[in-house]
Amino acid sequence: MRDVAVVGVGMTEFGELWSESLRTIWTKAATAALADAGLDSVDLITVGCMSPGLFVGQEHLASLLADELGMAGVAATRVESACASGGLAVRAGFAEIAAGLADTVLVTGVEKMTDVDGADATYALGSAADQEWEGFHGITFPGLYAMLARAHMARYGTTREQMAAVAVKNHANGLLNPHAQYHLKVTAKDVLESTLVADPLRLLDCSPVTDGAAAVVLTTVERARELAAGRPVVTITGSGLATDTITLANREELSELRAVRLAAERAYRMAGRRPEQLHVVEVHDCFTIAEIMATEAIGLFDPGFGGSAAADGLTALGGKIPVNTSGGLKSKGHPVGATGVAQVVELVNQLRGEAGQRQVEGAAIGLAQNMGGSGGSSVVHILEVVR
């Protein structure tokens, strides 16, 4: 298996991009990543996108977007794993290079979510849940994660204040990210007094509906060294993928994210790393409880201690292990197909030492965890600087 490096990154601003289409935001991110890599051609394009048919009425994205980039004829494919579509696109590109099927891959993620009204967006997102056993009975994702939150609170004593601490931290980080949807400082009081959505989750516990695109260029480590031009070379040393039951009713335990734990274990094993060796982490905080549960599932904290870790500042910038320095889905935004790729963009910027005011000093090893639905799938990647 060949070693794989990230040689270019690019992303759009995340937010309500009313004047732009799916293809225009995708092309902006793709061309930015190619320019950052110093390349104008690739062997393959992967596109992570959850539901373009429901959000913008467009399928057949791989062919459409390759043509939009002026690369009609290049091999291209779209992948989908709900909100983990971007992470899966990264894994697909990684696998192509590692296997020797391609030498250079443009990995992209995109979602245009605001071209439909709130009810249609809720329906599109809800298609990532079990339609017969969950959607049919009226449950939505805030309700599903509210049940996970209640289970975690009942088993471990996790509190509303601990969940609020996640939102406060991530909005503070988002203030430092020029690409973030929200540049908004929030307090614990703001979170706890925001509109109730699904008890115990409130509006400021929830990630927003977002438009956006992100892209990275992958190649072999040998070629990356040639293209580096004095920059650190960032490699993908571990990749893990796992699934769990989509239906919450079929899970053995609601207070853990099994797919995340399994994906992380597989990524650690491939990379030969342990959680305590990480310097910076991006996890899938679609809801504040998701960050708490994800940090436990990837082994940063023992089960039941993710909430207190956030409340005690261990996951803040300057803390023991900074989590979601980008602002996370909560503040940066969550264009579902783009999120997993955007996480890798943040880690590459951190490992290159190019993250600006949110830079983690000495960051050399990072982890990105992307999740589909209520944890029915998860992708984990470990990135490292090659010295």
Catalogue the active-site residues: 83, 334
Which of 371, 223, 226 is closest to 284 using CA atoms?
A: 371
Strand residue runs (E) in 155-286: 196-198, 201-202, 211-220, 233-243, 280-282
Joined tokens for residue 12: 């759009």
What gap in Å lies between CA 261 and CA 64, rounded to an integer?
36
Q: Count Cβ atoms below 10 Å from residue 230 Cβ, excluding itself.
A: 4
Collapsing DSSP states into helix, strand and coil, what is residue 55? helix
Which of 347, 129, 332 is closest to 211 using CA atoms?
A: 332
Pair 40, 8: CB distance under 8 Å? no
What gap in Å lies between CA 75 and CA 77, rounded to an integer?
7
